[in-house]
């Protein structure tokens, strides 16, 4: 809900524990293991990166897509440094 209560962790976190049911487990949030529900995201596996909201994982991070966005940003930065349009 807000920054105050970390209901929405917002950033991708890694799944580090999985209960036998697969319905819950723990994610690593900045070094802390946080109990998380996986009932809204079937087929979760250890090592997956997920977005957690209100105690439940709601989306799995797509590493390919993440890489594409980073490549795009890198390209924009390099281009702006080369053509002199960036003045630090």
Residues forming contacts to another protein in the complex (CB under 8 A) are 1-8, 10, 12, 37, 39-42, 51, 53-56, 58-59, 61-63, 65-66, 68-70, 72-74, 76-77, 79-81, 85-86, 88
Question: Token digits for 33?
Answer: 């293991």
Query: If we measure between CA atoms, which residue out of 12, 4, 17, 80 comes closest to residue 44?
Result: 17
Task: Return the number of the residue (46 or 54) whose C-beta is nearest another protein.
Answer: 54
CA distance 34 to 27: 5
Task: Return the number of the residue (20 or 69) whose C-beta is nearest another protein.
Answer: 69
Q: Strand, coil or helix: what is 44?
A: coil
Task: Return the number of the residue (46 or 76) whose C-beta is nearest another protein.
Answer: 76
């Amino acid at each position: 809900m807000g920054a105050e209560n970390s209901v929405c962790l917002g950033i991708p976190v890694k799944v580090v524990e999985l209960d036998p049911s697969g319905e819950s487990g723990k994610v690593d949030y900045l070094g802390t293991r946080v109990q998380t529900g996986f009932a809204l995201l079937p087929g979760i596996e250890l090592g997956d990166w997920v977005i957690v909201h209100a105690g439940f994982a709601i989306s799995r991070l797509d590493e390919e897509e993440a890489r594409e966005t980073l490549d795009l940003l890198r390209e924009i930065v390099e281009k702006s440094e080369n053509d002199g349009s960036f003045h630090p």
